[in-house]
Amino acid sequence: MTAAARGGVTVRVPAKINLELIVGPRRADGYHDLSTVFHAVGLYDDITVTPASQWAVTLSGPYRHLVPETGDNLALKAARLLAQRAAAEAAADPEPAEEVEEPSRGPLRQVPSKPEEPQGIGPVHVHIAKEIPVAAGMAGGSADAAATLVACDALWQLNTDREVLDELAAELGSDVNFALTGGTAIGSGRGERVAPVLSRGRYHWVLAVAKEGLSTPAVFAECDRLRDDRGEHDIPDPQPSPDMMAALRGGDSHALGAALRNDLQEAALSLRPDLQEVLDAGLEYGALGGIVSGSGPTLAFLVDGPEGALDLAVALTASGVASDVKRAVGPAHGAHVLNAPAGTPLGRK
Ligand code: C5P
C-alpha cells in the first residue's frame, strides 16, 4: 500500500555540498558567520509522515543504524515544533466567530467556526528512507528536518507561510533553511539566511564518502584552533568571492572547479589526514576540482559530464582509497511533496 493510501505524505529532499564556504570570526553565541554557496545535489532522503497514536521515527537504508530513532532525532523535533507552532497560533488567533441563527431559541448566538486546535494535528510516525550519508558534511539531518516540516504542513493542511517555515527551520539548525529551498543559493548569517544566486548549468559530481563521520562542532573548533595558533585574530567578515560568482553566472564547470573553496577544509584534513590521499587521487584522475563538503569528511569532485563521473568513480573505487563512491548531479530541487492523501490540496482526487 502506498503512503498516500495509508493517509501519509511523502517528501523528497536532497543532500547539499558547499561550493564555497568562507568562515568568519567566532561569534559570542559560539556560531561563526559564514558566506557560503549551497548547492543541492541529486542524492535524496524520502520522508513519509503518517498519523499515529504516538510520536515515533523509524529509518531504512544503508545508513539507518547511524541515526537515532529517539526524541533526539531532528526530524521528530521538526514535526513537534510545527505542531506546537500551529496549536499556539490557533490558540492566539482563533477564527472570528460566526453568527448563526437557531430557529428553536430565536436570537442569534456566537459559535466559534474553528476548534481551538486545528483538526488533525497530532502525533505522527516519521519514516526516513535514508540515502544521504550521515555526519558527512552533506546536511542529511537538516534535510530530514526540512522535509518533515513540509510533509507535516501538507498532512495537517496548514498552508504555513514560508516566513514561518523559515523561522522554524532556523530554530532547528543552520542548514535546514537551504534544504527547503534547494538549487544553488548563497547562505549568510550562520547559514540560515538563504538568498538566490544567479547560476547556470548542471554540474556532475563524484562523492567519496568516508566510513566514519566527522562532528561539525569539532571541525569548527579545529578551524578556530588553527587560526589561533597562527595568531590570526583579525578575521574579515565573510563575503562571496567574485571568482565563484562569475563561474556560476557563466555556467562554466572549469571556472567553477578552479573557484571551489572551503575554509573548513584545513580543519577537516587536520582531524582526518587520510582524506588528503583521496583528494589527491581524485584530482590526479582528472577531476576539474575537489573539495571537502561542508565540515566533511565527504569529498566532492567536479567532473565535466556523466562519462567523466563514471570514469572517476571507477578509478577511485579501484584504487582502494575510497570505499563508498557516489555520483550526483546538481542543482536539485529543495524539499518537495511526492504524494499526499487523496482529497488534500496536494493529493490526487
Ligand atoms: O546549526 P547546527 O546545529 O547545524 O550547528 C552545529 C554546530 O556547528 C554548532 O553547534 C556550532 O558548533 C557549529 N557551527 C558554527 N557556525 C555555523 C554553523 C555551525 O560554529 N555557522
Residue type, 122: G
Residue 97 has pLDDT above 90, yes or no: no
Type of residue found at 155: L
Cα 303 to ligand 1 centre (Å) = 30
Burial string for 29-68 (b: 16+ CB within 10 Å, else e) reads eebbbbbbbbbbbbbbbbbbbbbeeebbbebeeebeeebe
Q: CA 36 to CA 252: how far, in whole Å?
A: 19
Per-residue pLDDT reduced to its tens digit, 243-280: 999 999 999 999 999 999 999 999 999 999 999 999 99
Residue from 45, 144, 166, 175 carrying the catalytic annotation: 175
And the C-alpha cell for 245? 560568482
**Strand order across the 299-303 sheet:** 289-292, 299-303, 203-209, 324-330
Mutation to probe ligand 1, out of 18, 142, 190 (largest number of atoms < 8 A from CB) = 190
- Tell me what pLDDT residue 285 has: 95
Looking at ligand 1, which atom is closest to the CA of residue 30? Answer: 20
Nearest CA to ligand 1 atom 15: 31
Q: Choose between 100 and 42: higher pLDDT.
A: 42
Q: Of all atoms in ligand 1, which is nearest to the CA of residue 26? A: 20
Which pLDDT value is given to residue 305? Answer: 96
- Using CA positions, which residue lies closest to atom 20 of ligand 1? 31
Mean pLDDT value across residues 62-72: 90
Is the pLDDT at 115 greater than 90? The verdict is no
Task: Give the position, in ligand 1's atom list, of the atom nearest the Cα of 175.
Answer: 4
Question: How much is the pLDDT for 184?
Answer: 98
In the reported structure, the alpha carbon of residue 31 is separated from the centroid of ligand 1 by a whole-number distance in angstroms of: 6
- Contact predicate 154/340, CB 8 Å: yes
Average pLDDT over residues 71-75: 93
Residue whose grid cell is 556560476: 248
Contact 328, 207 (CB under 8 A): yes
Say if CB 40 and CB 14 are below 8 A apart. yes
Q: What is the pLDDT of residues 158-170, one digit of tens each?
A: 999 999 999 999 9
Give the active site residue among 16, 77, 130, 326. 16
Query: How much of the chain exceeds pLDDT 70, in percent?
Result: 88
The grid coordinates listed for 238 are 565573510
The set of long-range contacts for 276-285, using a CB threshold of 8 Å and a minimum separation of 24, is 277/321, 278/208, 278/316, 278/321, 278/322, 281/315, 281/316, 281/319, 281/321, 281/322, 282/206, 282/208, 282/312, 282/316, 285/311, 285/312, 285/315, 285/316, 285/319
Q: What is the mean pLDDT of the chain?
A: 90
Q: Under a CB-based contact definition with an 8 Å cutoff, are residues 142 and 74 in contact?
A: yes
pLDDT of residue 91: 84
Backbone φ and ψ of 347, nearest 5°: -90, 155
pLDDT tens digit string along 200-232?
A: 999 999 999 998 999 999 999 999 999 999 999
* Separation between Cα atoms, residue 162 and residue 184, nearest integer Å: 18
Q: What pLDDT shows up at residue 117?
A: 42
Rg (CA), the chain: 23
Residue 256 burial (10 A CB sphere; 0-12, 13-18, 19+):
buried
- Per-residue confidence (pLDDT) for residue 3, from 0 to 100: 59
Nearest to 257 by CA among 200, 208, 302: 302
Please tell me the residue having the least CA distance from ligand 1 atom 14. 31
* pLDDT for res 323: 77
Contacts of residue 334, Cβ cutoff 8 Å, sequence gap at least 6 = 13, 14, 40, 146, 178, 179, 180, 181, 182, 183
pLDDT band at 110 (very low <50, low <70, confident <90, very high): very low
Q: CB under 6 Å to ligand 1: residues?
A: 30-32, 34, 173-175, 190-191, 216-217, 220
| 141 pLDDT more than 50 | yes
Helix axes 74-92, 162-172, angle to 10 degrees: 140
For the record, the C-alpha cell of 134 comes out as: 550521515
Rounded to two decimals, the pTM is 0.90
Question: Three cell numbers at 17?
Answer: 555540498
CB atoms within 10 A of CB 159: 8
Give the position, in ligand 1's atom list, of the atom nearest the Cα of 32: 16
- Residue 93 confidence (pLDDT): 76
Query: What is the predicted pLDDT for the residue at 346?
Result: 56
Distance 24 CA to ligand 1 centre (A): 13
**From the CA of 174, how far away is ligand 1's center (Å)?**
7
| Active-site residue, 16 included | yes
Report whether 147 contacts 45 (CB < 8 A).
yes
